[in-house]
Structure 1
Amino acid sequence: MSPPLKGTLLAALGVLSFSGTLPATAFALRGFDPYMVAIGRAAVAALIAGLCLLLARVPLLPPRSLLGSYVVIALSVVFGFPLFSGLALDAGASVSHAAVVVGLLPAATAVCAVLRAGERPRPLFWVASAAGAVSVTVFTLSRGDGRLAVADLLMLAALLCAAVGYTEGGRLARDTPGWRVISYALVVAAPVSVPVTVALAVVTPMHPTTGAVAGFAYVAVVSMFLGFIPWYAGLALGGIARAGQTQLLQPLISLLLAWLLLAERLEVATLAGALAVLVCVAATQRARA
């Protein structure tokens, strides 16, 4: 199997894992405070990551020269995306609505990668990226009586965080195994995530139903750790441009899971918004590749 094809398949596995994040977060919020879900998942994943590093007999901390990059990953995908997306769902956004906004993630990631790597894509890339942003804006305004709701702004912040973290992690994964990239980011974040989680466990109300615990376990183990292993490895092997195209599947899978697991209605406007974003993002990936 060629490295590009292997990279694409690994990235697709990561996307499949991430597609369950929003539905699992919605379940977790039924029993836990949104801050507990966001920070607690990072603390649990940090313990798993630290154990994996110890068993592999590799350093527990990244090289000092790369510490800044790992801080960026920690702030963006360890803390930023979980916190903003969880607050958006807690503020009233449905999983289906959030999935459409997150559908713009491949284009946002590509823009960050272009800016970070100094690439010069064709004009079509920028046109398609702008069209995708317009599609998401029109969708959110149509669902919010002509204005952006707080939940929409929170999801946009989550989108930006994920794009930055994916770009930086994909860049580091060219020289460092993907599992070590996310492990180091989690360990770097642990001095904050672990004590804050302990404090939140004391001061916030918890109703640990089966569904809430299962949702929390998914976002902590799969979304925060296991999913990043094939994802970063896929970006490194297949290239961010090619392997990143697998993200086109994420909003559609998330919509399907929201319908199956949460009984959310798949309205025509939601499907139309998701497909419009998908077309625009596909154009950005094609132009950039």
Structure 2
Amino acid sequence: MAAHTAARQRLGFWLGVFGMVLFSVTVPATRLATGSDADPQLSPWFVTAGRAALAGLLSLAFLLWTRSPWPARHQWRPLLLALLGNVLLWPLLAALALRSVTAVHAAVIVAVIPLATAVFAAVVLHERERLGFWLCALLGVALVVVFSLIRAGAEGGFGFAAADLLLAGAVLASSFGYVYGAQVTPELGAERVICWMCALALPASLPLALWLWPEGPALAAVRWPAWAGLVYVGAVSMWSGFFAWFRGLQWGGTMRVSQVLLLQPFLAMVFAVPLLGEHIDALSLGFALAVVATVFVGRRFSGAARPVRAEAP
């Protein structure tokens, strides 16, 4: 029995690692789909609707195949709020930002998501945290602010670039989405939470995707890697990746498995090199290390172990 439990924990850990690796490709794949201002590919609006529609169709098939019952009345509000944050706002704001900044740059900003999620868990769910945690959260935000200002100064300006503000909004959207989605995870199960979120968005996402589908010269200008990026963020980032991640948290232990998230921003940078031909500069790498360090220390200061809501990717 003990050997079986240990083997399951090991499998859970590696499932968590696998899920984290899958999510690490999200930022580079989104940039691949949208292109840049100098070389635009798919519209960020179409990418947002298209990935949600693809995930919604896959989710609908899963819910029908498993004969999942409809959510209870008290579950609708958190599901819709999670949908707003994770299915609509996070993908849209990130896609708009990645038209103007590199995936390596974005990886530094989004590295603060675990801390932001924990802050929302403390505020929304009234979880009490120690002073050290809040100091780490403030330090992490300050590092992101300084990084953005340095980047803007290097480009001849001072203040936040529009893309950095969009990325900050994406971080906040994803964080409150994770918290509200996790409220119903114990009742619905992790897989059904993400499936219901995507399926409930389908009446809006599918018509929008069809309406925004590129035509004429715009369609001809889109290269196949952009379509591959769209398929990835829809089928993996917004759907199947959660299956491995949440199962890994359940089998391997939330606190243990969630620590692999510290590697996610660095893997996002690594994937940006072959996928996008980007270069990992010393400034981005240094600030990413500093932000991840605040996340790591913040977890050590954090109070009682939290469920999946504070650990979602």
In structure 2, relative to structure 1, the CA distance for the partners of 1:9 and 1:121 (3 Å cut) is farther
Aligned to 2:32: 27
Aligned to 1:68: 77
Q: TM-score, normalised by structure 1?
A: 0.92
Aligned to 1:188: 200
The correspondence of residues 133-144 of structure 1 with structure 2, limited to 5 A, is 133-144=141-152
Q: Which moved more, 1:237-246 or 1:118-127?
A: 237-246
The correspondence of residues 2-17 of structure 1 with structure 2, limited to 5 A, is 8-17=13-22
Cα contact 2:78–2:183 (8 A) shared by 1 = no
Q: 2:108 aligns with which of 95, 100, 120?
A: 100
| Identity %, equivalent residues | 36
> Which has the larger Rg?
2
Aligned to 2:308: none
Q: TM-score, normalised by structure 2?
A: 0.85
Question: How far, CA to CA, are the matches of 1:124 and 1:238 in structure 2?
Answer: 27
Shift of 1:169: 2.3
Establish whether residue 41 from structure 1 lines up as the match of residue 51 from structure 2. yes
Aligned to 1:78: 87
- Residue identity in the other structure for 2:190: G
Shift of 1:232: 3.4
Cα contact 1:10–1:234 (8 A) shared by 2 = yes
Aligned to 1:168: 180
Q: 1:179 aligns with which of 170, 191, 205?
A: 191
The secondary structure found in structure 1 opposite 2:213 is helix
Shift of 1:238: 6.1
The correspondence of residues 1-289 of structure 1 with structure 2, limited to 5 A, is 1=5, 8-30=13-35, 31-59=41-69, 61-90=70-99, 92-145=100-153, 146-201=158-213, 205-206=218-219, 207-235=221-249, 242-288=256-302, 289=305
- Residue identity in the other structure for 1:126: W
CA-to-partner distance for each residue in 1:196-218, whole Å, 9 max, x for gaps?
11111167933442211111110
Q: Which moved more, 1:124-133 or 1:110-119?
A: 110-119
Question: How far, CA to CA, are the matches of 2:173 and 2:91 in structure 1?
Answer: 9
Shift of 1:117: 2.8
Aligned to 2:310: none
Shift of 1:50: 0.3
Shift of 1:166: 1.7
Cα contact 1:170–1:232 (8 A) shared by 2 = no
Question: How far, CA to CA, are the matches of 1:276 and 1:128 in structure 2?
Answer: 11
Cα contact 1:178–1:231 (8 A) shared by 2 = no
In structure 2, relative to structure 1, the CA distance for the partners of 1:258 and 1:202 (3 Å cut) is closer
Q: Which runs of 5+ in 1 are unaligned?
A: none
Pairwise CA RMSD: 2.1
In structure 2, relative to structure 1, the CA distance for the partners of 1:274 and 1:202 (3 Å cut) is closer
Shift of 1:172: 2.2
Cα contact 1:173–1:235 (8 A) shared by 2 = no
Shift of 1:159: 0.5
Q: Which runs of 5+ in 2 are unaligned?
A: 36-40, 306-313
Shift of 1:164: 1.2
Question: How far, CA to CA, are the matches of 1:85 and 1:236 in structure 2?
Answer: 29
- The total of aligned residue pairs comes to 287
- Residue identity in the other structure for 1:43: A
In structure 2, relative to structure 1, the CA distance for the partners of 1:56 and 1:123 (3 Å cut) is same
Cα contact 1:241–1:285 (8 A) shared by 2 = no
CA-to-partner distance for each residue in 1:64-105, whole Å, 9 max, x for gaps?
220111101110010111100000011x11100000000001
Question: How far, CA to CA, are the matches of 1:112 and 1:4 in structure 2?
Answer: 28
Shift of 1:11: 3.5
